[in-house]
Structure 1
Amino acid sequence: MRTENGLSVEVVDRVARVTIDRPERLNALSTGLMKDIVSTFSAFDTDDDVWAVLLTGSGDRAFSAGVDLKEVNQNDAASRPPTMPMGGAERNVFETVLECSKPVVAALNGVAAGGGCELALACDVRLAADHVRIGLPEAKRGMGANFGCQLLPRIVPRGIAYEWLYTGELVPAQEAHRWGLVNRVIPAASLLDEAVALCRQLVANAPLTIRRYKAMIGRGGELPLSAALRLNVGPNPYHSEDRAEGVAAFVEKRDPVWRAR
């Protein structure tokens, strides 16, 4: 399925492959496209056929070049200022991806700049092609990177985050990997194959356990350890049918059959 705003979605073997498909605009995030991403990722939360999500871009030039500045310029000319970050009637696109209850893997097939970088930051795992450059150039455009300036220093050391935000320079994939911003740097020709293989590895594991990990890390990461250890968020795998199935499968020396319940 492809929306009129340029978002393609395909679900195969419990993996939802979501592709930003506007290569002629370097996969820039238009208002309509961001609404499509919000509705798509919101639906994944209650879709029993989706156990993992792979997010990528079309072509090899850009994962996403960020917010569509041509559209922003047109809105400015028409005296339609943007809403404040995290405000307005619409749910924020980056927050929606971040809070998706299913694991999300980003396959960065090209430049990830500005909003494109923020979209990548919202994902759980980032794999990058070896020619990728990534960063937040908002300081060069008078914009704010509201989401990015909060997420980036939670992933890389604060001093590195300051430098990248202040300079607005895009960094190569190898440097992003050095500081832990991306998990792996992969030859471009192999990127999607490795990303799909990783997603298949995820959906082969107990789905409730993985969703529990995501919820616990997301909610507990900034808490004192004593409080984090007492969190109880996300699905409870301890009392699930899948836990009994996993133990039985181990004892019987067979592959488990997960039911996500």
Structure 2
Amino acid sequence: MNADKVLVERRGNIALVTLNDPGRRNALSREIVRGVSVSLQRALDEGARAVVIAANGPAFCAGANIDDLRDGWMERPAPDEDPALMFERIAEFERPVIAAVHGPALGGGMELMLACDLVVACEAAWFSMPELGHGVIPNTGVALLPRVIGMRRAFDLILTRRRVAADEALDIGLVNRVVPAHAVLDSVLSLAGQVVEAVPPGALKAAKRNLRAHAAIDWERVVKSPLDVPKTEWREGLDAFMQKRTPDYDRFWREPATTLQGIEGD
């Protein structure tokens, strides 16, 4: 694990995992994905009763690292570097995982907090899934978001790519609590302590397992779904983002057969 990109410390019975790449707004990179996965296992091995995921800098997580997206993440990344598998580890983790969202959570950052069991956000936090505008899909988001806020709202957020402020996020059930910025971490640590206080680990694990089972996710589908998007489209979207220009998607609308080639056979 790259200790500079993911920090781990104990706060009593709680493992605090902190994304620590503020210069890139904690964008999910190979190093961060590996680091979070290793941190979860470390927390379990060391007997932590709950995990809090926080971040340093002004943003919680600004989505996926575009360089990594263009360099293999859209086409079968290594298992220990696959964000979807990291999200699955978080969602299926046998201890409670709570997100402390102190700033913007975009794209993969929003998927990260969706994978957590509970979310506390600051009043200035906001959420967005801009992926379609970049020619890619929020593959974990399309699985998790409808289960959290309902199908109609999920369509709204994914298709329009609009920003959701903290107060609306609380209203629609996207987050559990909204607190002042200075109180986010303390509030999350207090909530984590409340969750694990006076309950046995086996019952807690069983509650999580069965809550997830009744809203089952097809993680195999999640992992392979980026391949549904035609390569020409996501290349154009990501290249345009890197080159700071408007992507040219009109040509794909004029070539419907090409546009649909990524999902043939489904």
Whether these two folds match at TM > 0.5 is: yes
* Separation in structure 1 between the aligned mates of residue 73 and residue 192 of structure 2, nearest angstrom: 39
3-state secondary structure, aligned to 1:24:
helix
Cα pair distance change 1:157/1:214, threshold 3 Å: same
1:181 paired with 2:165, answer: no
1:101-250 → structure 2 map (5 Å cutoff): 101-208=94-201, 209-221=203-215
Deviations 1:132-166 (A, max 9, x none): 11121101111111110010000102111001000
- The answer to whether the 8 Å contact 2:129/2:138 transfers is yes
After superposition, the Cα gap between the structure-2 partners of 1:81 and 1:29, relative to the gap in structure 1 and judged at 3 Å, is: closer
TM-score (norm 1): 0.76
Deviations 1:208-247 (A, max 9, x none): 2222211111113359xxxxxxxxxxxxxxxxxxxxxxxx
Contact 1:63 1:109 in 2 (8 A): yes
1:63 aligned to 2:53?
no
CA distance in structure 2 between the aligned counterparts of 1:170 and 1:70, rounded to whole angstroms: 24
Contact persistence 1:5–1:33 (CA under 8 A): no
**Cα distance in 2, alignment partners of residues 58 and 207 from structure 1:** 32
Normalised to the residue count of structure 2, the TM-score between the two structures is 0.75
Larger Rg belongs to: 1
3-state SS of paired residue (1:62)? coil
The separation in 1 between residues aligned to 2:78 and 2:65, in whole angstroms, is 19
Letter in 2 for 1:112: A
Provide Cα deviations, 1:156-197, integer angstroms capped at 9, x if missing partner.
021110010001122111111111010011111111111111
In 2, are the aligned partners of 1:53 and 1:102 still within 8 Å (CA)?
Answer: yes
What secondary structure, in the 3-state scheme, does the structure 1 residue paired with 2:60 have? strand
Distance 2:79 2:190 in 1: 38
* Deviation (angstroms), 1:88: 4.8
- 40, 49, 52: which one aligns with 2:50: 52
Task: Give the partner amino acid of 1:169.
Answer: R
Matched to 2:65, the amino acid is D
Is the 1:57–1:63 Cα contact (8 Å) retained in structure 2? yes
2:166 and 2:191 mapped to 1: Cα distance? 19
Moved runs in structure 1, 4+ residues, more than 4 A? none
* Mapped partners of 1:122, 1:81: distance in 2: 19
Q: Aligned partners of 1:103 and 1:218: how far apart in 2? A: 12
Aligned to 2:5: 6
Contact 2:27 2:64 (C-alpha < 8 Å) held by counterparts: yes
Q: Which runs of 5+ in 1 are unaligned?
A: 224-261
Shift of 1:40: 1.7
1:15 is aligned to 14
* C-alpha distance in 2 between matches for 1:157 and 1:220: 15
Which residue of the partner structure matches residue 253 of structure 1? none
> Residues 107 and 195 of structure 1 are in contact (CA less than 8 Å); yes or no, is this contact kept in structure 2?
yes
CA 1:34–1:5: 2 relative to 1, 3 Å? farther
Q: Which amino acid aligns with 1:36?
A: G
Determine helix, strand or coil for the equivalent of 1:161: helix
Q: Could you tell which deviates more after superposition, 64-73 or 133-142?
A: 64-73
Q: Which secondary structure does the structure 2 equivalent of 1:182 belong to?
A: coil
**How far did residue 70 of structure 1 move?**
3.5
**Structure with a larger share of its residues in helix:** 2
Kindly provide the amino acid, as one letter, of the partner of residue 74 in structure 2: P
Letter of the 2:6 counterpart: L
Do 2:123 and 2:180's aligned partners in 1 also have CA atoms closer than 8 Å?
Answer: yes
| 1:126 alignment partner AA | V
Change (3 A) 1:83 1:44: farther
Listed as ranges, the gaps of 5+ residues in structure 2 are 218-266
The letter of the residue matching 2:22 is P
Native 8 Å contact 1:42 1:96 kept in 2: no
**C-alpha RMSD of the superposition:** 2.0
